[in-house]
Amino acid sequence: MTSTNSGNDLPGPLAGVRVLELTGEHAQFCGKLMADLGADVIKIEPPGGQETRNVGPYLNDKEHPERSLYFWHYNTSKRGVTLDITLPEGQEVFKKLAATATLVLESFPAGYLPSIGLGYEALSENNPGLIMCSVTPFGQDGPWRDYKTTDLLHLAAGGQMASSGYDVEDIPDAPPIAPGGGNAWHIVSHYAYIGIMGALYHRDFTGEGQYIDVSAHEACSLTTEGAIAIYLSTGDVVRRHTGRHASVDMSPGIQHATNDGGFINTTRSGSNLTPARIKILASWMDEHGLAQDLLDEKYQDLKVVEEAGLHFADVLKNFFANMPLVEAYEGGQELNFPWGAVRTMEEIMGDPHLQDREFFVPVEHPELGQEFTYPGGAAIYNASPWRISRRAPLIGEHNQEILGGELGISKTGLEALQKTGAI
Amino acid sequence: MTMQADNLNGKRRKDKPLEGVRVVDFTWVRAGPWAARWLATLGAEVIKVEWPENMDMLRQNRFTVPPGVEPGPNSTGQFADTNAGKLGLSINVRHPKGLDAIKSLISVSDVVIENFSSRIMSRWGLGYEELKNLRPDIVYVSMAGFGQTGRQHYFGTMGPAAQALSGLTHLSGLPGEQPAGWGWSYLDDTGGMYGAMCALTALKHRNNTGQGQHVDLSQMITGITLTGSAFLDKSVNGRESRREGYPPGNRTVWPGAPVLNNYRGPIAAPHNAYRTLGGGYNDWCVIACLSDDEWTTLVGVLGSPDWAKDAKFSALEGRLANQDEMDKGIEEWTSTLAKYSLADVCQAAGVRAMPVQSSEDRVENDPQLRHRGMFTKVNHAMLGDWKFQGAPFRLDGNKVAVKGPPPMIGEHTSSIMGDLLGMSNAELLEGYDEGVFWPETTPKFPYVEQAIEEAKNDVN
């Protein structure tokens, strides 16, 4: 093993980058990606806390702005201040903070920040290296600019739903299905991150900042793999299939039930099947008396193999119906078949492979006197580790530390700000 | 002198942010090439390393060869978009001379990116440990399914299997049915974005410190990080994933299920897909009301029918409890309107609604993508004027757009070997003769023949 997610004190790759984050569901994930990689991300919330604190699930199902697991998940490693940027006093403080920042990450409606005097031009006047990234549903211009959205709406307009659902044979009249997990916001956050990294690279060599306009709709529209290429190439629109690629043709089923109530996904039954591979697969099936005719010599002809996709799917279906999920999945993988068990969180927690990669990260919540397990990073950086440096901030937790300590606002100054309701 | 040294001496041009960064791209199929595609889009010089005997699967994708275009590895639409803006190098890295040449190339490059099964590159003598001796500050990104470390590092994945294993598939579908999952390799798209993110992040670290590093990305684990708050709901609350009414389809809570959570955002009703006029395969829209006020506005848009004025719908709790009846009433109305007019009518009143858009819709009918210039036509030797997908981020200080067409296989071999690495024409011809730059038994494309002819003429 060359490296791990923890175990040393090296700075993260984004050390030295200071981010002011004014965003809820649209781009808080982008802020988390940066914060866990070492950026100093300061989350600026309105007094009383941001609305994403009112999204469940909650710790032990007790609704409270400090108990939202949704907020916890998306705001690790950030520090938090409260600031009302609609008040002149709050705007003054915000400008002082922006003068110290590398990046302002925001998702207000298009045109809002300039309308209150906090647009890119105003903020970069005394900080030409400042980068500002606006993440909005549709970008800063265009006929849909002011349309309001949600995760579901983006997955509809972006094409995810048109590709996801069920075979008519499985569920007649099934609607297009929006995949779960809040992924419209993940997709746009990834692209925002890529754009920001480009701007940071440029800044490192020129000292220049710049403004970045990111559209969630464009990000989602880019994320349906081959659907656009198929249309552009042939004029055909893909159809939805259960658990597998939307496609123009009627592809064989690939998601099969196992005898313990699980499902295994075999990507495409036909993929990776050559005469030699069939022999390997059939020998394994034969140990269970379930090879049917797959040991037949006729399958040693590639042409016959290629035409027998539907038959193989049937034989596989019967094989899996007689075996438990983990045996099917791991048995296949040991023989080099790239199959996947449809896992739930129950099966993911404690997975030894993930433990080897130190994926399960203990995070302390000192105010609760408890430690909870968070998901780790997707990648291991061997010279600049990913890490969760702290749990999500409490409301206004770092007001004193950042506004008082780092900006140097006096005690009476802070009290005055509190009185006007600016913090 | 390296490219980076040039940059530091202020010779860098500023058209595109990554101008001057050279990437050796060993990736194939979708996730890896999509990663390097974004580095090219940001301005990097991306050299795609291929070998015709073991062709990138997307070059063989018969579903995206347009009618009337001669089929072949340079003719598929999906390869084209996935590899736009790269240069093409064909080289046999298992031949000693090929290995030497690729090492020379890496020694003048900034990034190596690969998505083979774990540890294949090491077997070829091209692992991180070997390459950092050639180029100490190399950024090396590996994108295997399970990563390079961990006991199951050798397990293979493609998008759908990785999605299944990550928990993403189980999040998607109707309750009481098998999971619908994702109708494409989401983790090839997103795994690709992550690959680009890792390379860019490590380049940033190199700017900070002068150090390169190895980034060990796992496609499957990427998926786990995209399950939203589902992970914490299990690890903190101990919530069982296999439960009644879950997953809730397009709704936030299935009727009758406890109102506890929704891993995509706030709990709301209505929050569903509805049929629209025409009744065609993609004649659907979605509507979501995030507050009682938004519901009241929607009732006005519906024309205030009696059923909708019933007090049982006025608060969220009642709407959640009576979703079937409410959704039926809404669908009676949506079925009378075309999906685009429906979205316009709703949005004009402040109601969140959008059409379900197919691929055709996004290319032909989406006024926003048209306004923003999402598709750019670039000339392609086989496909003609071809539409390429643009970037969803606009950088006002840098031009960011599709850099150019994808490479034909091995298209730039002679210029990379000759102009960049200083290989003589005689050496180049020897390489072609010995099967280093093109397999001896594979017919050569005219542009390969031409490059050989040019080298011969120069030698003579």
Question: Is the ipTM, as predicted for this complex, more than 0.95?
Answer: yes
Q: Burial level of B293, CB count in 10 A (0-12/13-18/19+)?
A: exposed
Phi, psi of A109 (to 5 degrees): -55, 145
What's the confidence (pLDDT) of residue A272? 65
Q: Do B197 and A193 touch (CB under 8 A)?
A: yes
> Is the pLDDT at B155 greater than 90, yes or no?
yes
Return the residue in B23, B286, B297, B385 with the most chain A beta carbons within 10 A, the one to mutate for interface testing: B286
Facing residue for A349 by CB, picked from B156, B213, B234: B234
**Is B40's Cβ below 8 Å from some Cβ in A?**
no
Q: In terms of residues, how long is chain A?
A: 423
Kindly tell me if the per-residue pLDDT of B12 is higher than 50.
no
pLDDT at A310: 85
Residue recorded with tokens 């950092």: B132
Task: State the smallest CA–CA distance between residue A175 and chain B in angstroms.
Answer: 7
Q: What is the distance in angstroms between the Cα of A416 and the nearest Cα belonging to chain B?
A: 35
Contact check, Cβ <8 Å, B17/A202: yes
Query: Is A198 in Cβ contact with B398 (below 8 Å)?
Result: yes
The Cα B257–Cα A42 span in angstroms is 37
Q: Which chain B residues touch A337 with a CB distance below 8 Å?
A: 156
What is the structure's pLDDT at B405?
A: 97
User: Is residue A272 within 8 Å of B209, Cβ to Cβ?
Assistant: no
Whether omega for the bond prior to residue A137 falls within 30 degrees of 0, making it cis, is no
CA distances from A395 to A47, A72, A182 (A): 8, 12, 23
- Write the pLDDT tens digit of every residue in B16-38: 999 999 999 999 999 999 999 99
Residue B71 sits at the chain A interface (C-beta within 8 Å): no
A345 contacts B235? CB cut-off 8 A: yes
Measured distance CA(B325)–CA(B322) in Å, rounded:
6
Helix then strand then coil, in percent of chain B rounded to 5, is 45, 15, 45
> From B281, which residue of chain A is nearest by alpha-carbon distance?
A239
- Report pLDDT digits (tens) over B361-399: 999 999 999 999 999 999 999 999 999 999 999 999 888
Asked whether the beta carbons of residue B229 and residue A57 sit closer than 8 angstroms, the reply is yes
Distance CA A115, CA B266 (A): 28
Residue B345 phi/psi, 5-degree rounding, is: -60, -45
What would the pLDDT profile of B57-81 be if each residue is shown by its tens digit?
999 988 899 999 999 999 999 999 9
Contact B147 A357 (CB under 8 A): yes
CB-CB: which of B18, B282, B352 is closest to A198? B18
Q: Is B231 within 8 Å of A375 when comparing Cβ atoms?
A: yes
In the chain, the amino acid numbered B360 is E
A174: nearest CA partner in chain B? B174
pLDDT reading at B198 higher than 80? yes
pLDDT of residue A8: 66
Determine, for residues B183 and A186 on separate chains, whether the beta-carbon distance falls below 8 Å. no
Query: Among partner residues A194, A209, A379, which is closest to B217 by beta-carbon distance?
Result: A379
In order along its 423 residues, chain A shows pLDDT tens digits of 333 444 468 999 999 999 999 999 999 999 999 999 999 999 999 999 999 999 999 999 999 999 999 999 999 999 999 999 999 999 999 999 999 999 999 999 999 999 999 999 999 999 999 999 999 999 999 999 999 999 999 999 999 999 999 999 999 999 999 999 999 999 999 999 999 999 999 999 999 999 999 999 999 999 999 999 999 999 999 999 999 999 998 788 889 999 999 999 987 654 568 899 999 999 999 999 999 999 999 999 989 988 888 898 899 999 999 999 999 999 999 999 999 999 999 999 999 999 999 999 999 999 999 999 999 999 999 999 999 999 999 999 999 999 999 999 999 999 999 999 999
CB B136 within 8 Å of CB B129: no
- What distances in angstroms separate CA A208 from CA A133, A200, A203, B392, B452, one per listed residue? 14, 9, 5, 21, 45
DSSP B332: H
B234 closest CB neighbour out of A234, A337, A345? A345
CA nearest to B242 within chain A: A344
Percent of chain B at pLDDT exceeding 90: 92
B266 touches chain A (CB under 8 A): yes
Distance from CA of B446 to the nearest CA of A (A): 24
Return the pLDDT at A9: 82
Q: How many CB pairs under 8 A join A and B?
A: 559
User: Chain B residues with CB inside 8 Å of A371's CB?
Assistant: none
Given A176, A271, A382, which is nearest B214 (Cβ)? A382
Query: Do residues B216 and A3 make contact, with C-beta atoms less than 8 angstroms apart?
Result: yes
Between residues 48 and 67 of chain B, which touch chain A (CB distance below 8 Å)?
61, 63-67
CB of B38 within 8 Å of any CB in chain A?
Answer: yes
Cβ–Cβ gap A338/B81 under 8 Å: no
Angstroms from B259 CA to nearest CA on chain A: 10
Closest approach of chain B CAs to the CA of A149, in angstroms? 6
The residue of B368, B387, B403 whose CB has the most chain A CBs within 10 angstroms, and thus the best one to mutate to test that interface, is B368
In chain B, which residues have their Cβ closer than 8 Å to the Cβ of A36?
none
- Record the tokens describing residue B114, joined without a space: 């690969």
Shortest distance between the Cα of A265 and any Cα of chain B, in A, equals 6
Per-domain residue ranges for chain A? 18-223+355-420, 251-257+263-341
Q: Which of residues 401-460 of B touch A (CB under 8 A)?
A: none
How long a stretch of residues is chain B? 460
Q: Locate the chain A residue with the closest alpha carbon to B355.
A: A157
pLDDT digits (tens, 9 = 90+) for B292-307: 999 999 999 999 999 9
Whether residues A195 and B232 touch (CB distance < 8 A) is answered with no
Q: Which residues of B are known to be catalytic?
A: 188
Which positions in chain A touch B265 (Cβ < 8 Å)? Answer: 25, 55, 70, 150-151, 182, 185
CATH of domain A18-223+355-420: 3.40.50.10540
- Parallel/antiparallel/unpaired status of strands B213-218 and B139-144: parallel
Sheet (strand B352-355) strand order = B271-275, B284-288, B352-355
Cα A393 from Cα A48, distance rounded (Å) = 13
Segment B231-241 shows an average pLDDT of: 96
Is the pTM value of this prediction over 0.95?
yes
Question: Whole-angstrom Cα distance, residue A273 to residue A299?
Answer: 10
Measured between beta carbons, the chain A residues lying within 8 angstroms of B221 are: 354, 357, 359, 376-378
Q: Are B431 and B111 in contact (CB under 8 A)?
A: no
Question: Residues B337-344: what's their mean pLDDT?
Answer: 98
**Is the alpha carbon torsion for B53, B56, B57, B62 positive or negative?**
negative
Give, as one character, the DSSP assignment of residue B276: -
For chain B, the maximum distance between any two Cα atoms, rounded to a whole number of angstroms, is 92
Nearest to B282 among A162, A188, A381 (CB): A162
Placement of tokens 């998306």 in the chain: A74
| Cα–Cα distance, A255 to A316 (Å, whole number) | 10
CB of B314 less than 8 A from some CB of A: no
Which of B188, B260, B261 comes nearest A225 by C-beta?
B188
Q: How many CB atoms lie within 10 A of CB B213?
A: 26
- Using the beta-carbon criterion (under 8 Å), do B164 and A263 form an inter-chain contact? yes
Domains of chain B (ranges; CATH) run: 3-224+382-459 (3.40.50.10540), 250-262+264-368 (3.30.1540.10)
Q: Which pair of structure tokens corresponds to residue A32?
A: 């988390």
| Test the B interface: residue of A8, A40, A224, A240 with most B CBs within 10 Å | A224
Confidence of residue B14 (pLDDT cuts 50, 70, 90): low
Q: Which two tokens stand for residue A185?
A: 């916001």
Instruction: Identify the CA nearest to A94 among candidates A53, A130, A137, A146.
Output: A130
B136 interface with A at CB cutoff 8 Å? no
Largest CA distance in chain A: 88
pLDDT band at B458 (very low <50, low <70, confident <90, very high): confident
The amino acid sitting at B71 is P
Helix (H) or strand (E) holding B24: strand B22-25
- Three-state DSSP string of chain A: CCCCCCCCCCCCCCCCCEEEEECCCCCHHHHHHHHHCCCEEEEEECCCCCHHHHCCCEHHHCCCCCCEHHHHHHCCCCEEEECCCCCHHHHHHHHHHHCCCCEEEECCCCCHHHHCCCCHHHHHCCCCCCEEEEEECCCCCCCCCCCCCCHHHHHHHCCHHHHCECCCCCCCCCCCCCCCCCHHHHHHHHHHHHHHHHHHHHHHHHCCCCEEEEEHHHHHHCCCCCHHHHHHHHCCCCEEEECEEEECCCCCCCEEECCCCCEEECCCCCCCCCHHHHHHHHHHHHHCCCCCCCCCHHHHCHHHHHHCHHHHHHHHHHHHCCCCHHHHHHHHHHCCCCCEECCCHHHHCCCHHHHHCCCEEEEEECCCCEEEEEECCCEEECCCCCCCCCCCCCCCCCHHHHHHHHCCCCHHHHHHHHHHCCC
- Residue B168 · residue B225 · CB < 8 Å: no
Say how many CA atoms lie within 13 Å of B343 toward its Cβ.
25
Residues on chain B touching A67 (C-beta within 8 angstroms): none
What six digits make up the tokens of B439?
């397999």
Quick: pLDDT tens for B318-336. 999 999 999 999 999 999 9
Asked whether the predicted pLDDT for residue B237 surpasses 50, the reply is: yes
The Cα–Cα gap between B91 and B83 comes to 18
Query: Which residues of chain B have a CB within 8 Å of the CB of A16?
Result: 208
Specify the pLDDT at position A271.
Answer: 57
CB contact under 8 A, B186 and A183: yes
Strand A379-381, strand B213-218: pairing:
antiparallel
CA distance B118 to chain A (A): 12
